[in-house]
Amino acid sequence: KAGVTQTPRYLIKTRGQQVTLSCSPISGHRSVSWYQQTPGQGLQFLFEYFSETQRNKGNFPGRFSGRQFSNSRSEMNVSTLELGDSALYLCASSLVGGIDTGELFFGEGSRLTVL
Amino acid sequence: DAKTTQPTSMDCAEGRAANLPCNHSTISGNEYVYWYRQIHSQGPQYIIHGLKNNETNEMASLIITEDRKSSTLILPHATLRDTAVYYCIVRVASSSNTGKLIFGQGTTLQVKP
């Protein structure tokens, strides 16, 4: 069974540009969440999508957005990049239905460097 | 979600049991304790979770005190591959927030030969 796949794995952008990251969840998983990890702030929750709808959102500015497609694949977008957006962006999927086990499956992340 | 407190770092000798403590004194009755770990340059990995009873799986054991204000994750025979940051998370299990975890700073476990 394939795991969570994130693309691209590495990318470099310059300030003011925008970036789109992609996440393919585990087959059958309907919830996709995004996290940002930096050395200073650690792992922070960005948002969660379920059935193409954002249902939870972390404390990030509007420059951070996302969407989910009918096949549960998700993308996140960061516009007007700032140096502080340099981070590892992690995607996680979970199986929704029945009892919530709290088990998320994480991808290996997309490492974004903003110059 | 209740807040958790973990030691910043711990060492453990290879082959010995690693006992990682977590304090969650403000935990509510419907909040579970979850443990994840993150090996360098990888995404976090789920280890185990529990409500009030002790739990064991193929990776670890989770011991929750009777008052539920603290817990201990036990790796029975630590190997070098267990070197990682371990996160203790407390949250309500709900079908409406399955993807939301609030991570603290975690405990960096260094397993030494």
Q: What local confidence, expressed as pLDDT, does residue A100 receive?
A: 62
Q: How confident is the model at residue B92 (pLDDT cuts 50, 70, 90)?
A: confident
Name chain B contacts of A96, Cβ cutoff 8 Å: 95, 98
Note whether B101 contacts A104, CB cutoff 8 Å.
yes
Q: What percent of chain B has pLDDT over 70?
A: 98
- Mean per-residue pLDDT for B5-21? 97
Q: Where are the strands (E) in B24-106, listed by range?
A: 31-38, 45-50, 55-56, 61-64, 70-75, 84-92
Q: Find the length of chain A.
A: 115
Name chain B contacts of A23, Cβ cutoff 8 Å: none
> What would the pLDDT profile of B34-55 be if each residue is shown by its tens digit?
999 999 889 999 999 999 989 9
Judged against a pLDDT cut of 70, whether residue A1 lies above it is answered with no
Note whether B43 contacts A108, CB cutoff 8 Å.
yes
Q: What local confidence, expressed as pLDDT, does residue A97 receive?
A: 59
Biggest CA–CA distance in chain A, Å, is 45
Residue pair B31/B53 in contact (Cβ under 8 Å)? The answer is no
3-state secondary structure of B73: strand
Q: How confident is the model at residue A99 (pLDDT cuts 50, 70, 90)?
A: low
Q: What local confidence, expressed as pLDDT, does residue A80 receive?
A: 97
Q: What local confidence, expressed as pLDDT, does residue B93 receive?
A: 77
Q: Find the length of chain B.
A: 113
Judged against a pLDDT cut of 90, whether residue A15 lies above it is answered with yes
Note whether A56 contacts B100, CB cutoff 8 Å.
yes
A83: closest CA of chain B, how far (Å): 21
